[in-house]
Amino acid sequence: MPIAERGYRHWEGKRTGALSRCFAITRFEVSIAYQSSRLLRRFLFIAWMPILYFCPLFLAIGYVADPSNDLRSGAMLTEIAGELFPREVIEQLRENPEIYLPAIWSVVFYLFFAWTQSLLSMIVVAIAGPPLIARDHKSKAFLVYFSKPIQAWQYLLGKLATVVFFVLSMTLIPALLLYSISIALSPDGTTLTATLPIIFKASLASLITAVPIGLVVLMISSLTKDRRIATFAWLVLWIFGEISFRVLTATSALSANARPPAWASLLSLRELSMRAVSGIFQVRSSIETVFQGLGESGDRLSRKMLRLAEDMGDPAALERPRSVQQIADLAGMGITPELATLALIVLSIGCGFVILQRARKAVRI
Amino acid sequence: MGALLEARSLTKLYGVVIGVNDITLDLEPGVIGLLGPNGAGKSTFIKLITGQLRPSEGQLTVLGERPWANMRLFKRIGLCPEQDSFYDQLSALEFVTSLAKISGLGSGAKERAEQALERVGATEFMHRPIGTYSKGMRQRTKIAQSIVHDPDLLILDEPLTGTDPVCRREIMDLVASLGEEGTSILVASHVLHEVQSMTDEFVLIHGGRILASGKVHEIRSLMNEFPHRITIKCDDTRKLAQALISELPLEGVSIDAEQGEIIVMTRDPGQFYARLPRIALQAGIHVRELTSADDNLEAVFSYLISVH
């Protein structure tokens, strides 16, 4: 019987590629964040809760969109759909579902992002993001990282992918689940073909939310060694920006013939992201599609709504159905989605540059 | 394998502060001690070798390649830093596996991490969170992450700091066995005797400059301006001192009667060692012990610093 060689053996395997190496950082960081924060685990669970609200909404939209269904017998579902859309819209939807259904789905998915998931994402980023670089700064882990075959940009990409992972867990994954359930609840297969682009839009919207937010939180994290200071700074930036934006908007709404300044959106990172996301979901054109199809009365209604959204000083704005008002407000107010996207790109590049500079400087200390 | 390291007029400036100053050095593969007091420039030198800093002036090649941002070279280098660069929530196995993956080991990373941890004697505690480890356990974990990808050059920065005697012995044995297997090792320390127990090949650095490099006795033999101090323990110190003075050109002789020893100062230790047995035999003196206090690193270092 031969004696087995059990001693130390030299590595003779093939090395993995650059992307695999930097995503090793992501796996590592996700594991740390998940293990070390009970709060994070709870929020990842809470992220699924809004689905419970939106699923009945899609079920209701699917029900009222089917002309064979009697609205009176399904009064409850009709009422749910009516919460979001006026009766005229529902009637048009029943007559031409192939035109109106994709537009309505786009608007509702946008609301899913804007109302709940973006808010939850900001909270999760506040938990998972601030320690990512601050901790390496404090422990001088840069020395270990950068003695491995990994460059500063790969390190940054690995860290960014950690934040992106958590944001996608709050946005894309629930959105895809919501989409799957909604398709399952739809009356026929035509809904799937008509609404398929929403998967692409949801993916893009998730990324355009995750990447700038991730880079901003990483930049904050790179400026300090103390994760608590980084967390505090992130919360201040987010909450202060949000409050400033809301105050400016409310002030403009109260004063006659005044509009909120376009730059107000720049104050709030969440608002800026949602402006870009509204462009991806084509919220404005979807609203126009829905309301302009209503004929003369509908045209008046849609124009009025969009005008009111742009002109918050009109007292009639307060008389509109609450949900539609919110949609129109979000669609017509602040800077354009294109400008918002541009602002996010510029912000991302700036943050990325600062992080790389900080990482290089940290190695020298 | 060619030269381990070649530096030509290597200088690193931090603004107006000099990190390392005009270093010219050639090192061959093997186990080498990098010695110098705190602030001597060891860390800067290590960061230059590991490609984390770009030289301000001069040239540096490590394993035949320029190290600055050289990913190909980083695959062949392992660094065990002085600081505890850990994530306390993770176990040693998770930590080392992750770093193995970052080094590109892919699906074999976990197995390699287990082997590396076994090699440093960390198998017993490798599943526990690092936050619960003693200093010695942490040192072992750090060394494991530095050898997991099987580097050609291993850099250990103060590897024995805070370790207990058993752990020190084991780390020293590990360094010796890695060296025997062909891994080149650079051991940086400010504690001279620790490094002396791992290797007799040194680079002495102080004030950002290389004071000397080579084996201790070679360095010492080049320092002719300082006489060698040799201590002899014998049964008749006075008689042997007389014999030595009459037979050899010595710089000085002092007798410590209480300890029963003679301290001889000579500029030609080779001749002294060659002729001492005959002189002692002719005088009928029994020599019990012969030591050179100057052949230890500490003395050499003290001399070198006083010269500079």
For the stretch B219-234, pLDDT in tens is: 766 666 677 788 888 8
In whole angstroms, give the CA distance from residue B19 to residue A363.
13
Q: What domain range includes position A57?
A: 18-254+348-362
Outline where B27-91 has alpha helix (H): 42-49, 71-74
Please count the other Cβ atoms lying within 10 Å of the Cβ belonging to residue B59.
Answer: 12
Report if residue A12 sits inside a domain: no
Asked if pLDDT for residue B297 goes beyond 60, the answer is: yes
C-alpha distances (whole Å) from B19 to each of A66, A362, B14 are 76, 15, 7
Report if residue A171 sits inside a domain: yes
Cβ atoms B251, B266 nearer than 8 A: yes
Report if residue A266 sits inside a domain: no
CA A282 to chain centre: 15
As a whole number, mean pLDDT of residues B167-190 equals 87
pLDDT at B71: 84
Cβ atoms A166, A125 nearer than 8 A: yes
DSSP-based three-state secondary structure for B39: coil
Chain A hits for B69, CB-CB cut-off 8 Å, are: 151
Chain B hits for A364, CB-CB cut-off 8 Å, are: 14, 47, 53
Cβ atoms A111, A327 nearer than 8 A: yes
Q: Tell me which residue in A8, A9, A149 faces B103 most closely, judged by beta carbons.
A: A149
- Interface contact A148-B14, CB threshold 8 A: no
Report if residue A310 sits inside a domain: no
Identify the CA nearest to B148 among candidates A13, A27, A151, A141. Answer: A13
Report if residue A318 sits inside a domain: no
Least confident of A259-268, B150-159, B265-274: A259-268
In whole angstroms, give the CA distance from residue A58 to residue A80.
9
pLDDT in tens, B11-37: 998 888 888 888 899 998 989 999 887
In whole angstroms, give the CA distance from residue A289 to residue A104.
9
- pTM of the predicted model, to two decimals? 0.77
Report if residue A312 sits inside a domain: no
As a whole number, mean pLDDT of residues B42-52 equals 89
Cβ atoms A121, A114 nearer than 8 A: no
**How does pLDDT run along chain A (365 residues), one tens digit per residue?**
444 444 555 666 777 777 888 888 898 889 888 888 888 899 888 888 888 888 888 888 888 887 777 777 777 777 787 777 777 777 777 877 777 888 888 888 888 888 888 889 999 999 999 999 998 888 888 888 888 888 888 889 999 999 999 999 999 999 999 999 888 877 677 778 888 889 999 999 999 999 999 999 999 999 998 999 999 999 999 999 888 888 877 776 666 545 567 777 788 888 888 889 988 888 777 777 766 655 555 444 545 455 444 443 333 443 444 444 454 454 555 678 888 899 999 999 999 999 988 877 776 55
pLDDT at A258: 53
CA B268 to chain centre: 27
- A228 at interface of B, judged by CB pairs closer than 8 A: no
pLDDT at A6: 47
Mean pLDDT of chain B: 85
pLDDT in tens, B71-89: 888 888 999 988 877 778 8
Report if residue A46 sits inside a domain: yes
Chain A hits for B51, CB-CB cut-off 8 Å, are: 146-147
In whole angstroms, give the CA distance from residue B132 to residue B90.
10
As a whole number, mean pLDDT of residues B139-144 equals 92
Residues 130-169 of A with CB under 8 A from B: 135-136, 139-141, 143-151
Give the end-to-end CA distance of chain B in Å, rounded to a whole number.
Answer: 34
Q: Name the interface residues of B facing A (CB cutoff 8 Å).
A: 14, 47, 50-53, 69, 71-72, 74-75, 77-79, 81, 83-87, 89-90, 94, 98-99, 101-106, 108, 112, 115, 119, 145, 149-150, 155, 181
pLDDT at A313: 35
Give the end-to-end CA distance of chain A in Å, rounded to a whole number.
Answer: 57
Domains contained in chain A, number: 1
Strand B5-14 and strand B57-62: pairing? antiparallel
- Chosen for mutation from B94, B102, B152 (greatest number of chain A CBs closer than 10 Å) is B102
As a whole number, mean pLDDT of residues B53-79 equals 89
Identify the CA nearest to B160 among candidates B145, B175, B150. Answer: B175
The ipTM of this complex is 0.71
pLDDT at A325: 47
- Interface contact A364-B14, CB threshold 8 A: yes
Q: Is B16 left (phi over 0), alpha (psi -120 to 50) or beta?
A: alpha
- A40 at interface of B, judged by CB pairs closer than 8 A: no
Cβ atoms A184, A98 nearer than 8 A: no
Identify the CA nearest to A105 among candidates A130, A133, A85. Answer: A85
- A360 at interface of B, judged by CB pairs closer than 8 A: no
C-alpha distances (whole Å) from B297 to each of A362, B211, B218 are 34, 13, 11
Asked if pLDDT for residue B10 goes beyond 80, the answer is: yes
pLDDT at B72: 86
Element containing residue A218 per DSSP (H, E): helix A197-222
Asked if pLDDT for residue B106 goes beyond 90, the answer is: no
pLDDT at A95: 79
Cβ atoms B172, B198 nearer than 8 A: yes
Please count the other Cβ atoms lying within 10 Å of the Cβ belonging to residue A121.
Answer: 26
As a whole number, mean pLDDT of residues B59-74 equals 88
Please count the other Cβ atoms lying within 10 Å of the Cβ belonging to residue A244.
Answer: 15
Report if residue A323 sits inside a domain: no
In whole angstroms, give the CA distance from residue A100 to residue B121.
68
Percent of chain B with pLDDT over 70: 92
- Give me the total of CB pairs closer than 8 Å, taking one residue from chain A and one from chain B: 113
pLDDT at A91: 78
In whole angstroms, give the CA distance from residue B64 to residue A125.
44
In angstroms, what separates the C-alpha of B59 from chain A's closest C-alpha? Answer: 19
